[in-house]
Amino acid sequence: MAAELNARRDVVIIGAGPAGLAAALYLARYCRDILVLHDGKSRALRIPLTHNAPGFPDGIRGPELIARMTRHAVQYGAAVEEAEVIMIDAVADGFRLRLKDGSTRTSRAVILATGIELNQVDLPHAVHEEAIRAGVLRYCPVCDGYEHLGMRIGVVGCDSNGAAEALFLRQYSDDVTLMPLSHPELSPAQVQELAASGVSVEKGALLALEPGADRIGVRLEGRASLEFDVIYPALGCRPRSVLAEQLGIGLTGAGCVSAACVADSGVPGVFAAGDVVEGLDQISVAMGHGAIAATKAHNWLREQDQDTLQAKA
Ligand SMILES: Cc1cc2nc3c(=O)[nH]c(=O)nc-3n(C[C@H](O)[C@H](O)[C@H](O)COP(=O)(O)OP(=O)(O)OC[C@H]3O[C@@H](n4cnc5c(N)ncnc54)[C@H](O)[C@@H]3O)c2cc1C
């Protein structure tokens, strides 16, 4: 059994979200011996119902999408294991991955599909998750803005991130309010653009969010309580790029890997896919990255095998 666990795979994919599972499906259908490792934290698992995943006109729940994608990849031979990878080393003939339980896995190539973590508003975990399920707390204007046509929309985070989200959401409603977490950090040009676009800007620090079943109360310093149909926190994110760093892959200012890493990370045999890559954080993008990274990894392995054959000839 130990030998089986330690058998060197063609590719280990780290991440079982839309990116990693799409890569797994492609590689399994390229007849590759692959292992998907994940620590159970795909952001897709938190999606109550997505309305912009192509092919699902009635929407699909995130956990169902992940279950279907897992079944699809496993059906063609992908192995999927729940385990956190804490260290990755490039070794002579590939990569050695150390897991949290102290065991190791080895592979010839690696796909990093490790995603991001959101910076969240400060609510007790159960209250926070219930507010997401109820749909009064949303973190993705691109995904969900359409659901809030004509509604009262609040955006938390009075800086350039928040200003950009508020302006984006303004196309869906003429009732958009931008609020600071602690204090406003807007440039005069941003203040002017927000005013010209009809976005209201509050100045008092956020004291409390009070989510309900179909609306959410907001208490701001020095202000009577406000009420919204939905709040979008615009507080940035923390890319899960520590394994990329361990391999010596450079990160962008925001802590992501560059878009080039989908096809070529600069470290031979390492590819990246999904939210951990700079750009639009969406299911469809993550799936597309997964398909590209898988195909690049497969062709890279073929080239290696060709070199080996030629070296032997
Ligand atoms: C509430 C919510 C609603 C959303 N709604 C939509 C929507 O409607 N439409 C849309 O397109 N997008 C939506 N998104 C965004 C979407 O979920 C992401 O874009 C998508 O999940 C990205 O896929 P990914 O595979 O790159 O990352 P993820 O799905 O986040 O998966 C990352 C994977 O990496 C694994 N991992 C990371 N580090 C390690 C490690 N060290 N060891 C082992 N495993 C590791 C995790 O366990 C996980 O399996 C939403 C997100 C949230 C939170």
Distance CA 300, CA 10 (A): 11
| Top mutation candidate among 43, 85, 100, 137 for ligand 1, by most atoms within 8 Å of CB | 43
How do 153-156 and 116-118 pair as beta strands?
unpaired
- 216-265 tens-digit pLDDT: 999 999 988 999 999 999 999 999 999 999 999 999 999 999 999 999 99
User: What is the spatial order of strands in the sheet that 206-211 belongs to?
Assistant: 206-211, 216-220, 226-228
Q: Which amino acid is at 72?
A: H
Q: What is the mean pLDDT of residues 44-69?
A: 97
Band (pLDDT 50/70/90 cuts) for residue 311 is confident
Q: What is the mean pLDDT of residues 119-143?
A: 96
Residue 182 pLDDT > 70: yes
Q: How far away, in angstroms, is 313 Cα from ligand 1 center?
A: 45
Per-domain residue ranges of the chain: 2-117+237-312, 120-233
| Top mutation candidate among 13, 14, 47 for ligand 1, by most atoms within 8 Å of CB | 47
Band (pLDDT 50/70/90 cuts) for residue 5 is low
CB burial of 125-160 (b: ≥16 within 10 Å; e: otherwise) equals: eeebeebbebbbbbbbbebbbeebeeebbbbbbbbe
Provide the pLDDT for residue 34.
98
CATH number of 2-117+237-312: 3.50.50.60
| Top mutation candidate among 46, 51, 101, 140 for ligand 1, by most atoms within 8 Å of CB | 140
Nearest alpha carbon to residue 56 among 216, 303, 308, 284? 284
CATH topology identical between 2-117+237-312 and 120-233: yes
Question: Fold for domain 120-233?
Answer: FAD/NAD(P)-binding domain (3.50.50)
The mean pLDDT value of the chain amounts to 95
Q: How far away, in angstroms, is 29 Cα from ligand 1 center?
A: 23
Binding pocket residue ranges, ligand 1, CB within 6 Å:
14-20, 37-44, 46-47, 50, 52, 84-85, 113-115, 132, 139-140, 143, 240, 243, 274-275, 281-283, 286
Provide the pLDDT for residue 6.
67
